[in-house]
Structure 1
Amino acid sequence: MSTLEPPSDRQTLPGMHMPAHGGATAAWRERHLLKNTLAALAAIYVVSIAAYLALAAHLAAGPGTVTTAALALLAILALVIRALPGHEHRRFGPANIITAIRASMVSFFGAAMIVGDVANGSVPPVVILLVVIALALDGIDGYLARRTRLQSAFGGRFDMEVDALLILLLSVSALLLGKAGGWVLAIGLMRYGFVLAQTVLPFLKAPLAPSFRRKLICVVQVAALCLILLPGIVPPASTAIAAIALALISYSFAADIIHLARQRFTTA
């Protein structure tokens, strides 16, 4: 029997109860998922390092950019492996692979903007292109998850956290480029503030139903922040765009908080 086959009924010992068999099958699935995930993430990491080196050479960035991007991606992938129990399938899946590739792009973008001193002038087109591709791929991973029937809470959270990190790094970049004041960081910190608020307001931990409004505003945030990175977009135009983006995301979070608060009193 192949080591990739789950335990069969014929392997059940006399007197063995069903929970034991179920536990063995679950353990096998977890091992299979871990092996499949490690193989996929290792390949993504190796290819990412090679891409980082090529991009750094193109941008004439120092070794710090590659090192920071590599460490950031490693940290993200380590968190992914830790969160694997939330993925109830035997395969990591193409959707999560796409999200991991997006995480790789986001890691290099952040390193280039913050460590690589790219923000001391105009943003190179290749850096903006990375963000645009990461944004475009955001519409693919969800489709692949549904198409392959590998949807999971893990995949949804992974995708959301990569989006949140990208928005935060774009906000930091907007500040470094002088496109808006320090208040622009509120756009990127909104998600993390919401998570922090859950520690003192437990009702915020209640699940939220999927929302087109939420997804649309997330895309608008990234698009708006990408737009103000362009050389020709300067204050007051860039400031106005950032202010609109902040107003939209504030509205979105406020709507969710009000909904959760009402839900709390309804179910109390």
Structure 2
Amino acid sequence: MALQERYGTRPFGPDTTAGVGVQMVLLEVICRAVGLGPAGWLTGSAFAVATWAALTHALRRSWTRSFGPANRVTLARATLVGGVAALVADSFGGQAPVEALIGLATVALILDAVDGHVARRTETATPLGARFDMEVDAFLILVLCVYVATPLGPWVLCIGAMRYVFVAASWLLPWMRGPLPPSPARKTVAALQGIVLVVAGAGIVPRAAAFALVAAALALLTWSFGRDTGWLWRSRCREAAARGAGATAV
């Protein structure tokens, strides 16, 4: 009990709970500004509840002392992503308000550089924060892919699905769960996905150019995931060789 009091979290505290309320406020603002149908409300509300539940579970397991300023920035980004998801869901029933959708997505992408900076400046970087940031990024990319797939084709969904396929593969292949070395190239490729999808979704370039840009982004992402998978496989082989050499020496 003493350990829990010292290091325990407040999973039902004001930060995570307020996130649900702020999400509802944003949905109401969107509804009044550009309109939001039942599909949008349902999607946005479900995203808010799912985010709260996932954070609650993660905080209980992480023994994090406090939510931290960087996680608050990421939670703000998650709220914006919930708004994007609501607008994309609503777009299947009619014309989506492109300006609002792209505006929210752009701000969420810009803030992606802020939470990491805040974590480093305040020395509050944690594995939980890094994972939270990654999941928000991945879901935003997936949602944008769903939106862009309408004019360009379902193949665009491969971009949004790739990380989830990688994670699913790691459940079956434990060697894929190994840590990866830091890579500026990986970060650059990941950042490009959001930028390219926003440009394609905004309709500011001809369809042929948007097709080429998204195809190039998919090719870069495939290369990035392929390189990481290859590195993990070689690392597994090196570890197996080291264990074999150790057993032989004994």
TM-score, normalising length from structure 1?
A: 0.84
The Cα of 1:234 is off from its aligned counterpart by: 3.7
Q: Does 1:49 align with 2:24?
A: yes
Q: Which has the larger radius of gyration?
A: 1
Deviates more, 1:244-253 or 1:117-126: 117-126
Deviates more, 1:103-112 or 1:77-86: 77-86
> What are the within-5 Å matches in structure 2 for residues 100-179 of structure 1?
100-114=75-89, 116-117=90-91, 120-121=94-95, 123-176=97-150, 178=151
- Check 1:30–1:144 CA distance in 2 against 1; reply closer, same or farther (3 A cut): same
Instruction: List gaps (5 residues or longer) in structure 1.
Output: 1-23
> What are the within-5 Å matches in structure 2 for residues 3-14 of structure 1?
none
- Check 1:26–1:148 CA distance in 2 against 1; reply closer, same or farther (3 A cut): farther
> What are the within-5 Å matches in structure 2 for residues 1-268 of structure 1?
24-31=1-8, 33-34=9-10, 38-85=13-60, 87-114=62-89, 116-117=90-91, 120-121=94-95, 123-176=97-150, 178=151, 180-268=152-240
Distance 1:217 1:254 in 2: 13
Distance 1:133 1:105 in 2: 8
Instruction: List gaps (5 residues or longer) in structure 2.
Output: 241-250
Is the 1:88–1:152 contact (alpha carbons within 8 Å) kept by the matching residues of 2?
no
Is the 1:66–1:111 contact (alpha carbons within 8 Å) kept by the matching residues of 2?
yes
Distance 1:175 1:123 in 2: 16
Distance 1:218 1:240 in 2: 17
- Check 1:54–1:251 CA distance in 2 against 1; reply closer, same or farther (3 A cut): same
Amino acid at match of 1:57: R
Partner of 1:17: none
The Cα of 1:119 is off from its aligned counterpart by: 7.8
> Would you say how many aligned residue pairs link Structure 1 and Structure 2?
240
Distance 2:35 2:168 in 1: 38
Distance 1:136 1:119 in 2: 29
Is the 2:80–2:105 contact (alpha carbons within 8 Å) kept by the matching residues of 1?
yes
**Corresponding residue SS for 2:207:** coil
- Check 1:78–1:246 CA distance in 2 against 1; reply closer, same or farther (3 A cut): same
Is the 1:171–1:188 contact (alpha carbons within 8 Å) kept by the matching residues of 2?
yes
Runs (4+) of structure 1 exceeding 6 A deviation are none
Is the 1:87–1:155 contact (alpha carbons within 8 Å) kept by the matching residues of 2?
no
What value does the CA root-mean-square deviation take over the aligned residues?
Answer: 1.8
Is the 1:167–1:221 contact (alpha carbons within 8 Å) kept by the matching residues of 2?
yes
Partner of 1:8: none
Judging by fraction of residues, say which structure has more helix: 2
TM-score, normalising length from structure 2?
A: 0.90
Q: Deviations over 1:99-148 (max 9, x none)?
A: 1111111111112112x127844642122111111011110111111222
Amino acid at match of 2:132: F
Amino acid at match of 1:112: L
